[in-house]
């Protein structure tokens, strides 16, 4: 049986914490910054926890 391969797109976008929570970056930070307010942009800083339904899929993509 071959080894499981980690989904290379998922490993760039999703991080797993030490306690096992799956974190993702928020959307809306990529480009067109001037069109958004500074409060909106600052609110999207940091990482948020993935929804439970998506976390199940993400675990499979990460090989966990």
Contact call for residues 8 and 61 (beta carbons, < 8 A): no
* Confidence at residue 29, expressed as pLDDT on a 0 to 100 scale: 86
pLDDT at 64: 87
Q: In CATH, which of 2.30.40.10, 3.30.450.20, 4.10.410.60, 1.20.1250.20 is domain 8-62?
A: 4.10.410.60
pLDDT for the residue 19: 95
Strands (E), 1-64: 14-16, 22-25, 47-49
Query: What's residue 30's pLDDT?
Result: 86
Q: Which segments of the chain have a pLDDT < 50?
A: none
């Amino acid at each position: 049986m071959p080894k499981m391969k980690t989904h290379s797109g998922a490993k760039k976008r999703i991080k797993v914490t030490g306690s096992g929570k799956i974190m993702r970056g928020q959307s809306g930070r990529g480009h067109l910054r001037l069109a958004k307010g500074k409060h909106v942009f600052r609110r999207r800083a940091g990482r948020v926890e993935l929804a439970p339904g998506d976390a199940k899929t993400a675990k499979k993509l990460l090989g966990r």
